[in-house]
Structure 1
Amino acid sequence: MTEAALTRGRVLVVAGSDPSGGAGIQADIKTISALRGYAATAITALTVQNTLGVTDVMPVPSSFIASQIKAVLSDIGADCVKTGMLHSAEVVETVVSILSEANFRGAVVVDPVMVATSGDRLLEVTAVESLKKLLIPRATVLTPNIPEAELLTGTVIKSVDDMRRAAGFIIKMGAESVLMKGGHLDTETIHDVLIMADGTEYICAAQKRHTRHTHGTGCTLASALATGLALGQALPDAFRHAHAFVQAAIEAAPGFGAGCGPLGHSYVRVP
């Protein structure tokens, strides 16, 4: 195996920690590892949460976040950077600044974590403009769910056509592509739609599972996508594999917790 092949699959995740293991950094590491990538992390915040909700957040100082990112990029390196919970404008600005300073040229997957599955807000209102002006233009692909896309675009999304329209607005903000997640639509079939800057689109559909075990689906999808890109897959292929992984992980959910339970990352058989 060549040295180039050996270095593929490195994903640096910049996100918050979930002590219950269902979302955030913990879900990211499980996903990347299950898909045979290498996970490195820069933690942006410590949260107190479980399947019932988020009860507290302790932000990590921006200077310390910057030091974590620099430490990884200067030694391990990364083929893809995936961002999750960036709770303040200062943190968004720090991440963008360090990536620029490091002249990072790999893919950047941005999961615009704004609201937890439980409904708890994870992004300060003042940070939304920084996200739109600074981080979205750095995104190889943005992965919003419908509530996040509505907040970013100021539109109401009730259909797949509305998803396409919102994706178009986000691409105009500078993103190279947008993966619109359709799980919040009131339909029996879930449509996730990947839309490229040139208008090309790819759709993955799945039967909606009526289950409460969906904690961390957004983190998992974005990290699976990032792993595919880090391993050298074309974006449409990485999208299809990520979608399939999430569906399998939902089906394999272990049933833990009294609320919105975690996925079964470790129980998915990966080819």
Structure 2
Amino acid sequence: MTPPRILSIAGSDSSGGAGIQADIKTVTMLGGYAMTAICALTAQDTTGVRSVMAVDPEMVAAQIDACVNDIGVDAVKIGMLGAPEIAAVVADRLERLSIPIVFDPVMIATSGAALADAATIAAFERLMALATLTTPNVPELEALGGDPGMHARRIAYIAKGGDALGPEVIDRLVIPGQPEKLWTAPRIDTRHTHGTGCTMSSAIATLLARGASLEAAVEGARAFVRAALLAAPGFGAGHGPLGHQAVR
């Protein structure tokens, strides 16, 4: 069977736990064909982000065009963008496509480092309007105006509960005009959580490209993330990477 073609538009994580690297691993393990448009380079490890360098917006656009015009794309995952100008060119390119788009509004790394400034966050509006699903964690949802702000925009989103306190993780799928769908599961007690958001969003994009409904794609992605958390190899002194390669 021909694998679905997934384009990840995101930043590179030199330590391999998050960003483009986590996306490639996730897409591959779920049977997709991974392509990339790298928006930013980071020097980081499990303890924090050392340096960030945004890619020229024209180069980001050229990467997207190269993938779309030759290989073709069945779904898109958007992650770290690095600058408002990059967000604008990404929106320009994606407006031409009629495929599932999953937008992970990356603002803060697992280590706590800021990965988006106020201008970049403001530029997220066009991308959220284009996205099939937006995937904020607790602080990102708050920065976007919380549930009232998302409801006012009439945006479909999954409110991820991994950053909330408590023994259980509650994820909420909110689709305008439909009842909320809740998933509850015991929290996995581990410090190896680097790249959970990237993994979740790229898994949803891959499953949507394979024909799953939005609810089924979220459910499958949650199962994949939890399995990868349990399979974490234990690398690093801080927030270690997931065990993507061990998920079967």
Residues 161-207 of structure 1 deviation map (CA, whole Å, 9 limit, x = unaligned): xxxxx1x52143242x1011001111101011111111322222211
Compute the displacement of 1:128 (Å): 1.4
2:23 matches 1:28: yes
Compute the displacement of 1:13 (Å): 0.4
1:119 aligned residue (76, 96, 112): 112
Residue 179 of structure 1 corresponds to 158
Over 4 Å off, 4+ runs: none
Residue 161 of structure 1 corresponds to none
Compute the displacement of 1:266 (Å): 0.3
Q: Tell me if the contact between 1:171 and 1:178 (Cα under 8 Å) persists in the aligned partners.
A: no
CA pair 183-209 structure 1, distance change in 2 beyond 3 A: same
Aligned pairs for 1:22-61 (under 5 A) are 22-61=17-56
Aligned pairs for 1:97-176 (under 5 A) are 97-100=92-95, 103-132=96-125, 134-153=126-145, 155=146, 166=147, 168-175=148-155
Aligned pairs for 1:1-271 (under 5 A) are 6=2, 9-100=4-95, 103-132=96-125, 134-153=126-145, 155=146, 166=147, 168-175=148-155, 177-269=156-248
Task: For 1:229 and 1:200, locate their aligned partners in 2 and report how far apart those are by CA, in whole Å.
Answer: 20
Task: For 1:197 and 1:209, locate their aligned partners in 2 and report how far apart those are by CA, in whole Å.
Answer: 30
| TM-score relative to the length of structure 1 | 0.89
- Percent identity, aligned pairs only, is 48
Q: Tell me if the contact between 2:19 and 2:195 (Cα under 8 Å) persists in the aligned partners.
A: yes
> SS state of the match for residue 220, structure 2?
helix
| Number of aligned residue pairs | 248
Gaps of 5+ in 2: none
> SS state of the match for residue 70, structure 2?
coil
Residues 101-154 of structure 1 deviation map (CA, whole Å, 9 limit, x = unaligned): xx200011000000000000001111111112x11111100000000001110x
Gaps of 5+ in 1: 156-165
Task: For 2:116 and 2:211, locate their aligned partners in 1 and report how far apart those are by CA, in whole Å.
Answer: 31
Q: Tell me if the contact between 1:136 and 1:174 (Cα under 8 Å) persists in the aligned partners.
A: no
Letter in 1 for 2:16: G
> SS state of the match for residue 16, structure 2?
coil
Task: For 1:130 and 1:28, locate their aligned partners in 2 and report how far apart those are by CA, in whole Å.
Answer: 23
Task: For 1:215 and 1:127, locate their aligned partners in 2 and report how far apart those are by CA, in whole Å.
Answer: 22
Letter in 2 for 1:214: T
| TM-score relative to the length of structure 2 | 0.97
Task: For 2:78 and 2:179, locate their aligned partners in 1 and report how far apart those are by CA, in whole Å.
Answer: 24
**What is the RMSD of the two structures over their aligned residues, measured on CA atoms?**
1.1
